[in-house]
Amino acid sequence: MATPNVSAADLRSKKSFTSPVWQYFGFKTDEDDNTKPTCKLCLKKVSAAGGNTSNLQRHLRNHPAKAQELGKQGQGPSKPKDMWSSNTMEPYMSYTIHFIDPDWKLQSRCLQTLYMPKDHTAETLADGMNEILNEWQLSPANQVCLTTDSGANIGKAASDLNWSWISCFGHNLHLAITYAMKDEPRISRAIGICKRIVAAFSQSWKRRRELSKAQLELELPVKSLVSECPTRWGSMHNMIARILEQERAIQRVLSEDRKVSHLVLKWQDIEVLKSLHKALEPMADFTDALSGDSYVTVSSIKPTLRFIENASTAEPDHTRLTADVKAKIQENFKKRYTSDTAQIILNTATWLDPRYKTEYLCEEGAKNAAENIKREIFELELANEFQ
């Protein structure tokens, strides 16, 4: 049913949308219900509960010209997939494409978000990804690579679909750091105290006020403490770095408050945190650099792996703990990109990047990358001749 007494010009756009389909839908300015947007093309209301765009995609098929226009945007080389849960713990799968536009600029679009209530088996994930490509009339043949976390289920789904797949660098780094820190009681204790300290200040505005006052008196930067998030890459290092920076101010506030005085860091905990900071600091600089979506990052993975290997070398000022953590990170990380598919993608991307070329490739890897590039150019030229 069309929305009465309203035109497309009267509709407000959805705030902070990621899927391009939302550009054809909006809401009445006096409307609070954000679950049923109105189509700007025919003024019909369409259900989009929970932000799910499946119904919007289907409705847009009633307007073939616009649907085809959006479909053309999806002829891209790379498609990251992400599984996430809403605030009510409902599972969803988002599918984003990255592609080069006619002006040779890197673009990204979130094609669709699917509600995924079934068990996330390889078969279920494969069906979900196929459904999205079919909705957008996209061919897997145009897809260079699928990027996801390193879960066994999604890896098998990609294998079953015969899709090239490479796991996310940020997720792999997070797993390597987590692996390096497990089963070490000193680390578990120090990190646990840090989390409780952050919670103590976040739950009390009086403590935050006293912290700011102490920072000014001690001539420290006036900054809030940083919480650690299990799924946010680098957040543990950020938490440790901030606590070490603000150690004197934190200790002053805690020692004057009987309710939290037991959280005052002992010298042993401080030594552990300093050792962890020294081990993680080299990783922090490139974590954000390799987690972007507005520029190419895959070509920097090989150089970064070399950097991690070099950074893992023990130095004279390293404590035993620092050296052990670095070695474990390197040990866990080096096995993440050993598959033939990953090596082909990484070698080719690195060879094409003028910053690196063959510097980080072995002789055989550089030779194979050059041959792959020549073959792809030939196939593209051949395809263009028959168009």
Contact 329, 276 (CB under 8 A): no
Same domain, 178 and 97: no
End position of a domain, from candidates 144, 167, 190: 167
- List all residues 6 or more positions away from 24 whose beta carbon is below 8 Å from its beta carbon: 39, 40, 41, 56, 60, 63, 66
Helix ranges, the chain (H)? 54-60, 64-73, 122-135, 152-160, 169-181, 185-202, 205-217, 235-245, 247-255, 267-289, 301-311, 320-333, 340-352, 363-385
pLDDT at 67: 53
Same domain, 205 and 254: yes
Paired tokens of 139: 């061919």
Same domain, 161 and 176: no
In a domain, 143, yes or no: yes
Same domain, 51 and 98: no
For residue 142, the one-letter residue type is N
Same domain, 159 and 133: yes
pLDDT at 320: 92
Contact 48, 55 (CB under 8 A): yes
List the one residue out of 268, 277, 279 whose CA is nearest residue 323: 279
**Angle at which helices 267-289 and 169-181 pack, to 10 degrees?**
170
Tell me how far apart the alpha carbons of residues 177 and 277 are, in angstroms, rounded to a whole number.
Answer: 12
Same domain, 150 and 194: no
Same domain, 35 and 93: no
**pTM above threshold 0.75:** no
Residue the block writes with tokens 């929305």: 3
End position of a domain, from candidates 125, 143, 167: 167
Same domain, 219 and 257: yes
Same domain, 285 and 374: no
In a domain, 9, yes or no: no
Q: Domain span at residue 372?
A: 340-386
List the one residue out of 191, 198, 197 whose CA is nearest residue 272: 191
pLDDT at 187: 95
* Consecutive 10-residue averages of pLDDT for the chain (387 residues): 59 67 75 74 77 73 60 52 58 84 83 82 91 83 86 91 89 88 92 96 96 97 92 84 97 96 96 94 75 80 88 82 91 87 93 94 93 87 70
What are the backbone angles phi and psi of residue 250, rounded to the nearest 5°?
A: -65, -45
In a domain, 330, yes or no: no
Paired tokens of 356: 């690196």
Give the number of domains in the chain. Answer: 4
Same domain, 211 and 178: yes
pLDDT at 96: 85
In a domain, 329, yes or no: no
Paired tokens of 57: 């995609």
In a domain, 46, yes or no: yes
Same domain, 136 and 180: no
Same domain, 198 and 227: yes
pLDDT at 68: 54
In a domain, 319, yes or no: no
